Amino acid sequence: MAKRKSHDKSEDYESPSKKLKSEESVEDALTTIENQVQLLRREIRGKKSVQDLQKTIDQLQKKLSTEKSAKEAALKDKEAALTRLSAVAANRLRDNNPGIADLSDPNRPIKLGEKASEIYDNEWTDALENLEKLRKATETNYDEEKDVQLLLSILTEIFQMCKRDATEHMDNMSRLLITPSTVKIKHKPKVPAALLKEIKDFRRQHCSESVLQCLGEHYLENLPERNPEQLGPEVIEACKKYILKCAELSWLMVIQDPPMCMEWQFTGSEFKSETMRSFTKSGDQVQFVVWPALYLHDNGALVAKAIVQGMKTEKKGRKNQK
């Protein structure tokens, strides 16, 4: 029994070296745990810092977006103000100044010159053919020159009617700004140039297809009164499309600022290639005029050449030599 007890005591005994190793492992474990705790604390602090930074970034981005919106709004306001200022300056420059054209206007003078050429090539030709058929049905000897002159007179009469009406229109507009239509005043009110320019531009810019159609119908109805002998119902019907186009061209010309003008008094004058082109015959002198010349304004630059019938004349030098 004594021996057995001795054996149990030996089993419970732990050597100093083994006990030291056990204590070191515990110390290591504690150190490891402490290190992990510190790492966790750093991560927590880092996460808080990231959250704070993200919050700050969000606030700055929001502020930046607000500043950008404010800047864009300010730039738009500035551009709008500059546009208005440029428009005012452009209007002042264009006021009665044909040298500065509004390139956005489809009915500016150069385009009207092209329109006139198209009318001559199309409606004028069709009207002449219609008149030829009408004449040959009742007359034995057809005189083309007579109908060419008639078509020219239709255009020039309409142009003069439009010129007169456009001037009266602006005069009436000026009076209506001062007094009602029921009150008649003798003098013509003096309207400020800037306001007058706005009125002229408004009239030109709002000259729509429907307005031109109404004007065309008006002149179509009133034209026979200017020449009742030559402009009978059959002639008017034969030239109807031509008359409507002449009214459109003429009105658009006279409402320009300043008004465009036509010149057709060339018969018997010297043929000038700078301002004229030949119809079917060339020569050094004008026999008759077929189509008028178009000018930017009175005494202004040429926009479209006149079309004339030329004839050759014997020059004095050659005659004396013979």
Highest mean predicted confidence (pLDDT) among 22-36, 40-54, 221-235 = 221-235
Query: Largest alpha-carbon pair distance within the chain?
Result: 181
Q: What 3-state DSSP class applies to 104?
A: coil
- The DSSP code sequence of 134-189 is HHHHH-SS--HHHHHHHHHHHHHHHHHHHHHHHHHHHHHHHHHHHS-TTS--SSPP
Lookup: tokens for 240: 């109807």
Return the higher-pLDDT residue of 55 and 222. 222
Q: Which two tokens stand for residue 250?
A: 């003429």
Q: Per-residue confidence at 4, pLDDT binned at 50, 70, 90?
A: very low
Q: Check whether 147 has a pLDDT greater than 70.
A: yes
What pLDDT score was predicted for residue 176? 85
CA distances from residue 174 to 121, 252, 303 in whole angstroms, order as listed = 39, 20, 30
Higher pLDDT, 191 or 145: 145
Please write the tens of the pLDDT for every residue from 172-208: 888 888 888 788 877 777 888 888 889 999 999 899 9
Distance CA 155, CA 226 (A): 12
Q: Do 216 and 244 touch, CB atoms closer than 8 A?
A: yes
Does residue 125 carry a pLDDT above 70? Answer: yes
Triad 90, 92, 97: Cα angle to 5°? 90
* pLDDT for the residue 122: 97
Q: Quick one: pLDDT at residue 6?
A: 46
What does 237-282 look like in DSSP terms, one character per residue? HHTHHHHHHHHHHHHHHHTSSSPPEEE---TTSBP-TTTEEESS--
Residue matched to tokens 């009665």:
96
Does pLDDT of 5 surpass 50?
Answer: no
**Tokens linked to 85:** 């200022």
128 near 151, Cβ under 8 Å? Answer: yes
Average pLDDT over residues 253-265: 95
Give the CA angle between residues 39, 41, 46 to the nearest 5°: 95
Q: In terms of pLDDT, which residue wins out, 13 or 194?
A: 194
Find the mean pLDDT for residues 135-144: 86
